Structure 1
Amino acid sequence: MKKVILMACAVAMLATVQAKPVDNAKLSINKNNIKVWTFQNSQNPVFLYKAETTYDTALEKAVSLILDVDHAVQWVPYMGSIKVLSRDDKKGEFLLYMVLDFPFPLKDRDLVVQGKMIKDAQGIITIKNKAVDKGYAKNPDYVRLTHYEGDWTFQKLANNKIKVSTYGYANPEGSIPLTFVNMFVQQQPYQMLQKMKMELGKPSSIPALPEALR
């Protein structure tokens, strides 16, 4: 069973080192029960973001969707392909190779994501992701992303009621106008959480979570 973590992003392409919006965060989107905040710091011209929503579903089902690598291309925006390079379900560690399908005329991006999944004493599940510049040979057809950090957080609020948060930052590299990148940062997490709701609404069984999350 090829299950492992998705990057927040693709996102799969963007994520944040912050646990909550900072003082200068702007509520950029607030509709359909989804909120997206964007903010900047002195080190990064590209927006960072936080997005959150609630779903009427089991926590295990939502986490399993994120871990279902084979299914990711069907619903994660801009996800071209994803491959599991290594995984240790007992330790909750994984390594992924991802290709992001950027719109023409932009060159597609790829990245190697190192991740960790954790369940705390309160039952909150966190999936942390970070790009690493090793583990997979570079392909001249793609622009390699090396500056990416992000995470997902899943919290049970009641029976079949959960809160899902995703945070992110990434440098898309290459010659892309900053205004385009920052617009993408606002829209991508919103689109992803909407698509996630649609996927969770489909009837399916609830797979067992990896050992590290039980």
Structure 2
Amino acid sequence: MLKRFYAFWVVLCLCVGVLLSNISYAKGTEKLSINKQGIKVWTQQIKDNPMMHYRAETTLNTSIENAVGLILDTDRGKTWIPYVTDIQVIDRDDAAGEFVIYIKFDFPFPLNDRDLVVKGKMSKNNKGQMIVKNTAIKDPRVPLKNNVIRITRYEGDWVLTKLSAKQVKVSTSGFADPAGSIPTSFVNTFVEQQPYQMLQRMKQYVKTVKYSSDDLPSALR
């Protein structure tokens, strides 16, 4: 098995702690903010919420198993995902596809670093889609740290859809409250740019790895 256990699903979504919530989108109010290099990012302003929501998608020229294997490889993920300084697996159940992980983010000065405890559920539906739903939780096993702000409002999802033996559609959407004092303009800039940058890097990195179904947790086989 890979040295990974799920953190990368969350890391791609969060990177600077400004993303994601599993919100039902009113697609008529979405704005297509980025559409280049085969990657699309939509943003949406929700009433009474200063932070924008987003939805992003792209198509990768690889197998769904290879794409998922890359996403699950936290050791590799930490080498190419900016701002992430620590990923720890707190609990996991491969058969059930459930996990609890801790992630720490290095925010630029003068902002405080952020961290997050996430409970996730992975599944494979009858259409063969691989789905991950994540939620921020409180966990007594992960106490608060000095000078690090804990993100407590976060939900997000990922969906991987097999298009052919060598093509997979990757979709993600959501929202998070990064907590503390961060300019809304700073946050919303990352809401647009971060999904694009991460999917762009994923397109390149998936060419350098080779994972199979044997590398995946049993819940996804």
Alignment of 1:201 with 2:207, yes or no, is yes
Q: Structure 1 vs Structure 2: percent identity of aligned residues?
A: 49
2:106 equivalent in structure 1:
101
1:133 equivalent in structure 2:
138
Alignment of 1:212 with 2:212, yes or no, is no
Runs of 5+ consecutive residues of structure 1 not aligned to the other structure: none
Count, aligned residues: 214
Measure, in 1, the Cα distance between the counterparts of 2:169 and 2:200. Answer: 14
User: Is the CA contact (8 Å cut-off) linking 2:38 and 2:59 kept in structure 1?
Assistant: yes
Runs of 5+ consecutive residues of structure 2 not aligned to the other structure: none
Measure, in 2, the Cα distance between the counterparts of 1:70 and 1:26. Answer: 35
Q: Aligned match of 1:79 in 70, 73, 84?
A: 84
Measure, in 2, the Cα distance between the counterparts of 1:113 and 1:84. Answer: 10
Q: Aligned match of 2:14 in 4, 10, 13?
A: 10
Distance change >3 Å, CA 106–CA 198, structure 1 → 2: same
Measure, in 2, the Cα distance between the counterparts of 1:78 and 1:198. Answer: 19
1:186 equivalent in structure 2:
192
Distance change >3 Å, CA 51–CA 77, structure 1 → 2: farther
TM-score normalized by the length of structure 2: 0.91
1:111 equivalent in structure 2:
116
What is the CA distance between 1:106 and its match in structure 2?
1.1
What is the CA distance between 1:21 and its match in structure 2?
5.8
Deviations 1:90-117 (A, max 9, x none): 0000000000111122111000010000
Q: Which amino acid aligns with 1:163?
A: K
Deviations 1:165-198 (A, max 9, x none): 0112110111111011101111011011011111
Q: Which amino acid aligns with 2:106?
A: D
2:126 equivalent in structure 1:
121
Alignment of 1:66 with 2:66, yes or no, is no
Q: Which amino acid aligns with 1:160?
A: K
User: Is the CA contact (8 Å cut-off) linking 1:16 and 1:149 kept in structure 2?
Assistant: yes
More displaced 10-residue stretch of structure 1: 43-52 or 55-64: 43-52
What is the CA distance between 1:204 and its match in structure 2?
3.0
1:88 equivalent in structure 2:
93
Q: Which amino acid aligns with 1:213?
A: L
Q: How does 1:162-173 map to 2 (within 5 A)?
A: 162-173=168-179
User: Is the CA contact (8 Å cut-off) linking 1:10 and 1:76 kept in structure 2?
Assistant: no
What is the CA distance between 1:139 and its match in structure 2?
0.1
Q: Higher helix share goes to which structure?
A: 2
Measure, in 1, the Cα distance between the counterparts of 2:48 and 2:97. Answer: 30
Deviations 1:46-66 (A, max 9, x none): 011100000100100111111
What is the CA distance between 1:203 and its match in structure 2?
4.1
TM-score normalized by the length of structure 1: 0.94
What is the CA distance between 1:18 and its match in structure 2?
3.2
What is the CA distance between 1:10 and its match in structure 2?
2.3
